[in-house]
């Protein structure tokens, strides 16, 4: 039996999320169909994060096992030839049976992108959340610091979220300005349903001076979703990476959406705290 990890990028605009669903287009279905075509047998994949409808990925990690032997090039070029142009494999790596893209992940990383409507660009309309407001990045950064650490994120989970616990541990949360774009960069052990989009919506209102840092603290402590702003649109959200133990040798480089230009240096490497330990929290 051979085991593989793949790096996948996709435009989620016209898909009903990553996870396979009956009678609706999904990223997982397209990937599994393409992989199965190359393997000439059914392939099922596991992903580092199950992105929602309309959410994009620049670095999704998936894993699968197969008794079929193919050269690495077949798992990249061959599979890409079977995929629509909205989904592409970036890299492949052979791994051991111990590796699972979901359960082996130490952290996941997302970026939420706001664009100033004064610089609206029609060709990237589905890849940014456009705002008429000028956002105060320093205010947003101060509020973002309140989410660092382990917290009950009940105020920021969707009502349909089925996670057994509302607790998540945020390792990094930064707000970056890049020209006419403002990017919210967040790293956590795992995320609740709509958690990133709900945090992005709140930080937007902090940036427009509708909420203060004190308001944010009160909202976090209230543990009541009804008190939070409406969920931000899916179009601005990207899964940009996932991290694993060194033994798996998986590329954990953050992949920045191309529309943001050359700002790679603005995204800090992920540093886990000294007291980090593995928790049995589902992604």
Give the pLDDT score at 280.
Answer: 44
Please compute Rg for the chain using Cα positions: 19
| Cβ–Cβ under 8 Å, residues 114 and 204 | yes
151 pLDDT above the threshold of 60 = yes
pLDDT (0 to 100) of residue 236: 96
Lowest-confidence pick of 249-253, 270-274, 277-281: 277-281
Residues 147, 61, single domain; the answer is: no
Mean predicted lDDT score pLDDT of the chain:
93
Q: Identify whether the C-beta of residue 6 lies closer than 8 Å to the C-beta of residue 74.
A: no
Same domain, 227 and 111: yes
Q: Which pair of tokens denotes residue 65?
A: 């096992």
pLDDT band at 119 (very low <50, low <70, confident <90, very high): confident
CA 59 to CA 220: how far, in whole Å? 29
Q: How is residue 283 written in tokens?
A: 């992604």
276 lies in some domain: no
114 and 67 in a common domain: no
With bands split at pLDDT 50, 70 and 90, how would you rate the model's confidence at 88? very high
- Asked if residue 36 lies in contact with residue 42, where contact means CB atoms within 8 angstroms, the answer is yes
Distances (CA, A) of 29 to 15, 21, 83: 10, 8, 10
117, 156: one domain: yes
Q: What percent of the chain has pLDDT over 90?
A: 83
Same domain (yes/no): 124, 225: yes
Single residue among 95, 123, 146 that ends a domain in this structure: 95
Question: What average pLDDT score do residues 105-132 get?
Answer: 93
Distance (Å, whole) CA 13 – CA 235: 7
Overall domain count for the chain? 2
Do 58 and 177 reside in the same domain of the chain? no
**With bands split at pLDDT 50, 70 and 90, how would you rate the model's confidence at 260?**
confident
| Residues 225 and 123 occupy one common structural domain | yes
In a domain, 140, yes or no: yes
Instruction: Tell whether 277 is covered by a domain.
Output: no
Q: Which of 30, 61, 95 is the last residue of a domain?
A: 95
Residue 216 counted as domain residue = yes
Flag whether 272 is in a domain: no
Residues with catalytic annotation? 52
Q: What is the pTM of this model?
A: 0.93
Domain's final residue, options 49, 68, 95:
95
What are 162's two structure tokens? 């089925």
Instruction: Tell me whether residue 255 is in a domain.
Output: no
Q: Is 88 left (phi over 0), alpha (psi -120 to 50) or beta?
A: beta
The residue with tokens 């990028």 is: 9
Q: Do 159 and 57 share a domain, yes or no?
A: no
Q: How far apart are CA 137 and CA 9, in angstroms?
A: 28
Q: What's the angle, vertex CA 216, arms to CA 207 and CA 272, rounded to 5?
A: 90
Same domain? 113 vs 88: no
Q: Alpha-carbon distance 68 to 230, whole Å?
A: 47
Q: Residue 275: pLDDT band by 50, 70, 90 thresholds?
A: low
For 216-233, the pLDDT digits (tens) are 999 999 999 999 999 999
130 and 215 together in one domain: yes
Q: Are residues 117 and 228 in the same domain?
A: yes
Residue 191 near residue 211 (C-beta atoms within 8 A): no
Output phi, psi for 175, to 5 deg.
-125, 125
Q: What is the CATH number of the domain that holds 140?
A: 3.30.70.660
In a domain, 274, yes or no: no
CATH value at residue 11: 3.30.70.580
- E strands of the chain, at which residues? 2-10, 46-47, 56-66, 87-95, 107-116, 129-131, 149-152, 167-178, 181-188, 237-243
> Considering the domain boundaries, does residue 268 fall inside one?
no
| 143 plus 42 within the same structural domain | no
43: containing domain: 2-95
Q: What value does the mean pLDDT take over residues 8-36?
A: 97
Predicted pLDDT of residue 257: 79
């Amino acid at each position: 039996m051979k085991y593989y990890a793949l790096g996948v990028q996709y435009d989620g605009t016209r898909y009903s999320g990553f996870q396979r669903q009956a009678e609706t287009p999904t990223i997982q279905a397209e990937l599994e169909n393409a992989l199965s075509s190359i393997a000439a047998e059914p392939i099922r994949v596991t992903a580092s994060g199950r992105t929602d409808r309309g959410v994009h990925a620049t670095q999704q990690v998936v894993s699968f096992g197969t008794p079929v032997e193919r050269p690495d090039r077949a798992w990249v070029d061959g599979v890409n030839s079977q995929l629509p142009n909205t989904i592409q494999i970036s890299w492949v790596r052979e791994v051991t049976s111990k590796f699972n893209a979901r359960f082996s992940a130490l952290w996941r990383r997302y970026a939420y992108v706001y664009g100033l409507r004064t610089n609206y660009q029609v060709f990237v309309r589905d890849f940014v959340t456009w705002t008429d407001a000028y956002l105060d990045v320093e205010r947003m950064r101060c509020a973002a610091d309140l989410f660092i650490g382990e917290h009950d994120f009940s105020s920021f989970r969707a009502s349909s979220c089925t996670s057994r616990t509302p607790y998540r541990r945020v390792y990094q949360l930064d707000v970056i300005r890049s020209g006419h774009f403002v990017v919210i960069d967040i790293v956590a052990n795992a995320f609740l349903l709509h958690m990133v989009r709900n945090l992005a919506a709140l930080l937007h209102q902090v940036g427009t001076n509708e909420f203060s840092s004190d308001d944010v603290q009160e909202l976090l402590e209230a543990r009541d979703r009804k008190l939070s702003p409406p969920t931000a649109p899916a179009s601005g959200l990207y899964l940009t990476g996932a991290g694993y133990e060194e033994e798996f040798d998986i590329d954990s480089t953050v992949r920045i959406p191309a529309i943001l230009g050359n700002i790679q240096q603005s995204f800090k490497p992920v540093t886990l705290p000294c007291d980090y330990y593995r928790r049995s929290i589902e992604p």
